Amino acid sequence: MSVAGEKYKAERGGLGETVKIVIQALLIAVVVRTFLFQPFNIPSGSMKATLLVGDYLFVSKYAYGFSKYSLPFSPDLFTGRIWASPPKRGDVAVFRLPRDPSVDYIKRVIGLPGDKIQMIDGVLQINGQAVKKEKVDDYTTTDEFGTEVRVPRFRETLPDDKLPNGSIHKGISYEVLDLDPHSMWDDTPIYEVPPDHYFMMGDNRDNSTDSRVLAAVGYVPFENFVGRAELVFFSVKEGDPAWQFWRWPWTVRFDRIFKTI
């Protein structure tokens, strides 16, 4: 074989190996995204101050098992969940909006199947018992004009729950914001969570369309859960595009990177 022929064969072999590596990488990415972790970004302030606009996070797809919404394009291959593991109270979870399953929402699990949920004078009530709520330092932010704004912030501590296996899930603590002490959602009727459904709420209580709004969100079927939010892997300031990498030294919120949820 001539030198030119050997060179062509080597180049073709090198190209074939490159294509093989690219295909393998794409398959691995599809498997990871479908069955393990999926990235999401936060477009609204409904979960402040836990999650901020501009946060990018990983959601574990396997945490609750798999439904059709775990798969790309949500093919109608089966109903319910495979290897189901129910959400725990306090989880921050991504789910498909019941009235429009093409839309992803992220909220906190507040009510479990069979629970009675209510807000009375801004205090969360679970099965007739007030959730512990303590005032902490105000949350400081800026408005659209760049003026510093202080928002009342509280720490809620959820009650302990007994799991089906008999163990106790310790009630977690997290922070909520109270933009308006007399919001229309500070006093609600009693919501009775149906079987196999969950009651979801945003941590930014007066700026969250959640299960309190039955016509918009309402009770979320277990099947609609996509996964549990685990980790913020990247974060840029609100209003700054993440793709403008040349501005990262000034726009990236480095203190939020690798922040667990």
At position 4, the amino acid (one-letter code) is A
Nearest to 139 by CA among 40, 206, 210: 206
Q: Before 49, cis peptide (omega within 30)? A: yes
Tokens of 83: 């290897």
Q: Which residue has the tokens 């299960």?
A: 211
Q: State yes or no: is 48 an active-site residue.
A: no
Distance CA 233, CA 260 (A): 9
Query: Which of 48, 68, 88, 107 is labelled catalytic?
Result: 107
Q: Where are the beta strands (DSSP E) in the chain?
A: 37-41, 55-60, 92-97, 100-111, 116-120, 123-126, 129-130, 132-142, 148-157, 161-162, 168-169, 173-177, 191-192, 197-201, 220-221, 225-235, 259-260
Q: State yes or no: is 46 an active-site residue.
A: yes
Query: Under 8 Å CB-to-CB from 31, ≥6 apart: which residues?
Result: none
Q: Spell 22-32 as b/e; 16+ CB within 10 A means b.
A: eeeeeeeeeee
Distance CA 162, CA 145 (A): 48
Active-site residue numbers? 46, 107
